[in-house]
Amino acid sequence: MEIIDEPIRDEAKSDAYQPAPKKRTGLLIGMFFLIVGTIFISSVLGAAFGFLAGNVSKGFLPDRLTGFLGISNSIENPEIIKQRIVEEDSAVIDVVEKKSPAVVSIVISKDVSQIQGSLPFDLRNFFGQGTDQFGSSNSGTDGEQKKKVGGGSGFLVTADGMVVTNKHVVSDETAEYTVMTNDNKEHAAKILAVDPVNDIAVIKIEGQDYPTLDLGDSDSLKIGQSVVAIGNSLGEFSNTVSKGIVSGLGRSLTASGGRGQTEKLSDIIQTDAAINPGNSGGPLLNIDGEVVGINVAMAQGAQNIGFAIPANQIKRVVEQVKTTGKITAPYLGVRYVPIDDEIKKAFNFSYSYGVLVVRGDRVTDFAVIPGSPADKAGIVENDVILEIDGEKIDEKNSLSGLVAKHNVGDSVILKIWHKGELRDVSLLLVERK
């Protein structure tokens, strides 16, 4: 048998499936009209939806129609997006325009001979023979000239020229301080008062009708809230503006100054608004233009980590200076360290909060200052102070912060862990000397 590589075809069946010539022609005509109709309908619908899309982006369609079609009238609207951006920016611009006139720059000046006398020998040689650190010649009568040695910031709180700034900005008793207002006028300043506890000072310039800033409620601040910092950055760029958010609240840290000064700061605001040398003493404002803090420090070796003293601490200082002309601060008279896990374990404490009353490094660093309120109340070394007036001493409420909320002459009740027993101690706060 011969084998062929293709299927055997049934001739009869194959001929039966061939269409008649007339039926085939009709089918081709029908397909033609179907294709033409499809193209026409697609063109009409494409034009219609293109029209709708174009008008939606322009905001011409009513909300009822766009909702029915499932199309948003605003999500892709560039005009609305632009308007929202402008509104956000304009709020900051409005704050800056209205509040900048009350922000001042503080210029620190000293006699050239005093500057050189205070420089270490190697630094004087580094800057050159007969030359101060600012490159100015020190020949002839230049020893009697005043030279700019630094700068800071401040802000006016009264129309008659009372200015709030940082204590470390005006801490040099041998320097002279000049306030430059927003209109570029210079005013000689005198120090009215410095806070013995916080890094706050109040200085005064002569004049009337100065623009002022209002102190807001720093206790109402929320993390993530927008803030604006204004100050004399680097001591050269007055009224520099930076914007950021509140990054943290209730922070505690030890800040160091340019002359080796150190200061413990508690219950302060952390922000990512850029704060640079020279910004110290300038205001941190909320979006309503209220002062919520006074810029005080920045973290070295980090980006966008700045700190500000809360406005509620400034209010007490300003009111005291207005009424008494000085700043007084109450104190207990104890040295202490916060309770942590290590101390809790070592002393077998039952409490994970509070402070332990301890001695300092030197022999004269008593745990309890003789004659202080704490001494008179019977508090001794190794006592643990747990609460003040019912408020626990912890990370959110430091001992110094709770004491600072009171005034000299206030009576407070302390909860003490004393030799294994709890007791309440009442004492009268006196002025820190």
Active site amino acids = 168, 199, 280
Please list, in sequence order, all residues whose beta carbon lies within 8 angstroms of the beta carbon of residue 320, skipping any fewer than 6 positions away: 193, 326, 327, 328
Asked if residues 73 and 117 have their Cβ atoms less than 8 Å apart, the reply is no
Tell me whether residue 134 is exposed, middle or buried, using C-beta atoms within 10 angstroms of its C-beta: 0 to 12, 13 to 18, 19 or more: exposed
Query: What is the phi/psi pair of residue 407, to 5°?
Result: -110, 160
Asked if residues 120 and 160 have their Cβ atoms less than 8 Å apart, the reply is no
From CA 16, how far away is CA 161, in angstroms rounded? 112
The dihedral over CA atoms of 229, 286, 191, 251, expressed in degrees to the nearest 10, equals: -80
Angle subtended at Cα 172 by Cα 310 and Cα 268, rounded to the nearest 5 degrees: 15
Structure tokens at 244: 């950021």
Tell me whether residue 11 is exposed, middle or buried, using C-beta atoms within 10 angstroms of its C-beta: 0 to 12, 13 to 18, 19 or more: exposed
The three-state (H, E, C) secondary structure of 166-230, written as one string: CHHHHCCCCCEEEEECCCCCEEEEEEEEECCCCCCEEEEECCCCCCCCCECCHHHCCCCCEEEEE
**Residue 412: other Cβ atoms inside 10 A:** 20
List, as one string, the DSSP characters of 412-425: EEEEEEETTEEEEE
Tell me whether residue 277 is exposed, middle or buried, using C-beta atoms within 10 angstroms of its C-beta: 0 to 12, 13 to 18, 19 or more: middle
Q: Which amino acid, 350?
A: S
Checking DSSP bridges between strand 226-233 and strand 384-388, what pairing results, if any? unpaired
Asked if residues 111 and 146 have their Cβ atoms less than 8 Å apart, the reply is yes
Spacing of C-alpha 405 from chain mean position:
22
